[in-house]
């Protein structure tokens, strides 16, 4: 999604802003731009495409200055183009960068056009620049002008604004899109994500919904809340080292993140299991009482996180006896859900800023849930702050747009939730699962060692246009996730089905051109799955099976089998995710796609 970086410093900010934009590239974007207060005027550069294109412009015409705002855009209103790239200016007096959507921009635009303002872009954002210009002409300060106009903006925004009349001032605002303040020594910054600012500070203020912030020279920071009261917000020190945000020796972030999984799974478990038991308090001091009152669960998420929720449904129903409903946030928030008494509301989001999931949480708060739990990778994110309880997944920064380690650590967190609810409600401890969890990082390591074999397997996919993924039980969501990864990064059309559904339709697609990928752990559905695979073979389909070492599926001309080490049945969904991630990765590399920033996609989806 769009990225904002802004700075008011005692040094030239051009490099700080450019470096910040590069660090936000992982979010996905189509154009980039920057405005700096330079020699008494607001000077702007914008470029379609990558930050490198903007850098090339700036190499020819540097933009030195002590204050500036910068942006990477992921178009929602108006095609990707230089004219639509941010910052948007009004008469070169005002500059605006915006993340989000102004839902009522059409009405505002008509009214501004009637007042004589000419528009030079197709974006919703440009209205903000002209609205500010109007207010500044009435004699208001930039801060007061911003405070007045945000009241009339519908939808969601994070803003960074500057004006020519007030050099050395940047104003920010947040409503529905993330924005953090970076606290430096005699300098101050704004960004959509702390990662953007790690070279200049590790101290951050997470703005609350409705907050307005003013950055001035000498690092002065003023924050006013939605009611117009001056407030002090706590300063947090960033937890993860900056090394996490670099590729190291890996060719892509995605590969690095796949290989980090044993380490981050270990981190996700640390301090949350005692010798014999799961520690319910990991979810917070009120968790025991809340879990005891929990009779149902609604799990709400988007994309890959939604697939983690689907796995958790199998776990929670089987091991904790709690009925679970799982739904994508963009559907849930617009229906009229019936909430049975004693229902816990659970959200899953890597960033904690996913717009639909956050909106679903806010909607759920108006209903009669017993409480809310966020499972999230970013401490201090909106979802975490606004939920009653939270559990951090501890995956560290995930830069690749296609989620990998965030997914598997979500699964670990959801298994801890399953074990905790089982203990709280039924006084049952699954000692075998707890023991298996401890060995999981080492078993994952052994699966990752199969990388070169998976790379060879991937050659069979590079020329394909379609693929079918099959799984049963808790592995059906793993098949869904495998198909999503292949779509996301290799642009091959892939679908996933519960293997038992094959004969109800998709079997019609199977021929020698259709690779069929199946996960076959040694569980009580294995024999059923084997029959489904025979149905594929009988139609000339080519099978690729990831199977437990003990299941005895033989390699034949039309079946290629990769055996995985045995793992406790409950944890198999976690393990079988890994080869599917590696398969998609290698197919994408063979196809030469942009693995870390696949076309049209964005990380941290902060618009609806």
Binding site for ligand HGA (CB under 6 A): 1-2, 73-78, 98-101, 123-125, 607
Give the separation between CA 265 and CA 410, rounded to whole angstroms: 9
| Contacts of 201 by beta carbon, 8 Å cutoff, 6+ apart | 182, 183, 184, 189
Nearer to ligand HGA, 150 or 564 (CB): 150
Nearer to ligand HGA, 84 or 372 (CB): 84
Which strands make up the sheet holding 31-38, listed edge to edge? 41-48, 31-38, 67-73, 3-8, 188-191, 180-183, 203-206, 236-237
Kindly report whether the peptide bond that precedes residue 417 is cis, defined as omega within 30 degrees of 0.
no
Closest C-alpha to 168, from 18, 64, 36, 44? 36
Tell the smallest beta-carbon distance from residue 84 to ligand HGA (Å): 6
| Contacts of 503 by beta carbon, 8 Å cutoff, 6+ apart | 535
Q: At what angle do helices 303-315 and 405-426 cross, to 10 degrees?
A: 30
Helix (H, G, I), strand (E, B) or coil at 88: strand
How many residues in the chain? Answer: 608
Which positions are annotated as active-site residues? 2, 603
Tell the smallest beta-carbon distance from residue 76 to ligand HGA (Å): 4
Nearer to ligand HGA, 76 or 445 (CB): 76
Q: Is the dihedral of CA 481, 404, 53, 30 positive or negative?
A: positive
Nearer to ligand HGA, 77 or 539 (CB): 77
Tell the smallest beta-carbon distance from residue 100 to ligand HGA (Å): 5
Tell the smallest beta-carbon distance from residue 351 to ligand HGA (Å): 12
81 class by beta-carbon count within 10 Å (0-12 exposed, 13-18 middle, 19+ buried): middle
Beta strands in 442-492 (DSSP E): 466-471
Q: Is the dihedral of CA 576, 579, 580, 582 positive or negative?
A: positive
Give the separation between CA 247 and CA 254, rounded to whole angstroms: 9
Helix (H, G, I), strand (E, B) or coil at 226: coil
Distances in Å between the Cα of 532 and the Cα atoms of 461, 505, 525, 536, 546 are: 22, 13, 11, 7, 15
Q: What are phi and psi of 523, to 5 degrees?
A: -120, -175
Nearer to ligand HGA, 574 or 607 (CB): 607
Tell the smallest beta-carbon distance from residue 1 to ligand HGA (Å): 4
Give the separation between CA 260 and CA 302, rounded to whole angstroms: 23
Tell the smallest beta-carbon distance from residue 124 to ligand HGA (Å): 5
Nearer to ligand HGA, 74 or 476 (CB): 74
Nearer to ligand HGA, 73 or 135 (CB): 73
Closest C-alpha to 591, from 492, 451, 467, 484? 492
Tell the smallest beta-carbon distance from residue 29 to ligand HGA (Å): 8
């Amino acid at each position: 999604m769009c990225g904002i970086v802004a700075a008011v410093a005692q040094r030239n900010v051009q490099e700080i802003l450019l470096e910040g934009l590069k660090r936000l590239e992982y979010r996905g974007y189509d154009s980039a731009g920057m405005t700096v207060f330079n020699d008494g005027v607001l000077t702007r550069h914008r470029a379609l495409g990558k930050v490198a294109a903007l850098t090339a412009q700036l190499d020819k015409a540097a933009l030195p200055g002590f204050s500036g705002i910068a942006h990477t855009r992921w178009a929602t209103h108006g095609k990707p183009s230089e004219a639509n790239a941010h910052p948007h200016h009004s008469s070169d007096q005002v500059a605006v960068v915006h993340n989000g959507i102004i839902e009522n921009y059409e009405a505002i635009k008509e009214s501004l056009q009637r007042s004589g303002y000419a528009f030079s872009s197709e974006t919703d954002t440009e209205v903000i620049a002209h609205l500010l210009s109007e207010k500044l002409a009435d004699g208001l300060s930039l801060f007061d002008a911003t405070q007045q106009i945000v009241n009339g903006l519908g939808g969601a925004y994070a803003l960074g604004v500057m004006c020519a009349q007030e050099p050395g001032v940047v104003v920010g605002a947040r409503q529905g899109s993330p924005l953090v303040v970076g606290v430096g020594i005699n300098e101050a910054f704004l960004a959509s994500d702390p990662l953007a600012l790690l070279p200049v500070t590790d101290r951050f203020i997470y703005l609350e919904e409705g907050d307005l912030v003013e950055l001035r020279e000498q690092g002065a920071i003023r924050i006013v809340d939605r009611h117009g009261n001056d407030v002090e917000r706590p300063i947090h020190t960033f937890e993860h080292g900056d090394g996490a945000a670099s590729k190291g020796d890996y060719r892509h972030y995605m590969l690095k993140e796949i290989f980090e999984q044993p380490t981050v799974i270990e981190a996700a478990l640390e301090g949350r299991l005692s010798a014999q038991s799961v520690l319910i308090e990991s979810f917070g001091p009120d968790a025991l009482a809340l879990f005891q009152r929990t009779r149902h669960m609604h799990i709400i998420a988007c994309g890959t996180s939604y697939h983690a929720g689907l796995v958790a449904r199998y776990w929670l129903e089987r091991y904790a006896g709690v009925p679970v409903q799982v739904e994508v946030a963009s559907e849930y928030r617009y229906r009229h859900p019936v909430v049975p008494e004693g229902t816990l509301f659970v959200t899953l989001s890597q960033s904690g800023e996913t717009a639909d999931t956050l909106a679903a949480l806010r909607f759920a708060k108006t209903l009669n849930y017993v409480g809310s739990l966020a499972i999230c990778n970013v401490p201090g994110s909106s979802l975490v702050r606004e939920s009653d309880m939270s559990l951090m997944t501890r995956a560290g920064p995930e830069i690749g747009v296609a989620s990998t380690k965030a997914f598997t650590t979500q699964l670990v967190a959801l298994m801890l939730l399953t074990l905790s609810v089982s203990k709280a409600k039924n006084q049952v401890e699954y000692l075998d699962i707890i023991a298996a969890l401890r060995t999981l990082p080492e078993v994952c390591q052994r699966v990752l060692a199969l990388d070169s074999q998976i790379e060879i397997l991937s050659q069979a996919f590079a020329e394909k246009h379609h693929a079918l993924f099959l799984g049963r039980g808790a592995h059906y969501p793993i098949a869904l996730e495998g198909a999503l990864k292949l779509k996301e990064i290799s642009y091959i059309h892939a679908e996933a089905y519960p293997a038992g559904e094959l004969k109800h339709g998709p079997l019609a697609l199977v021929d020698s051109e259709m690779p069929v990928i199946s996960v076959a752990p040694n569980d009580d559905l294995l024999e059923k799955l084997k029959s489904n695979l025979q149905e594929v073979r009988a139609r000339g389909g080519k099978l690729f099976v990831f199977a437990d070492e003990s299941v005895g599926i033989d390699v034949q001309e039309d079946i290629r089998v990769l055996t995985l080490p045995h793992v406790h049945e409950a944890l198999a969904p976690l393990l079988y995710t890994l080869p599917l991630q590696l398969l998609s990765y290698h197919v994408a590399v063979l196809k030469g796609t942009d693995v870390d920033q696949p076309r049209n996609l964005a990380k941290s989806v902060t618009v609806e």
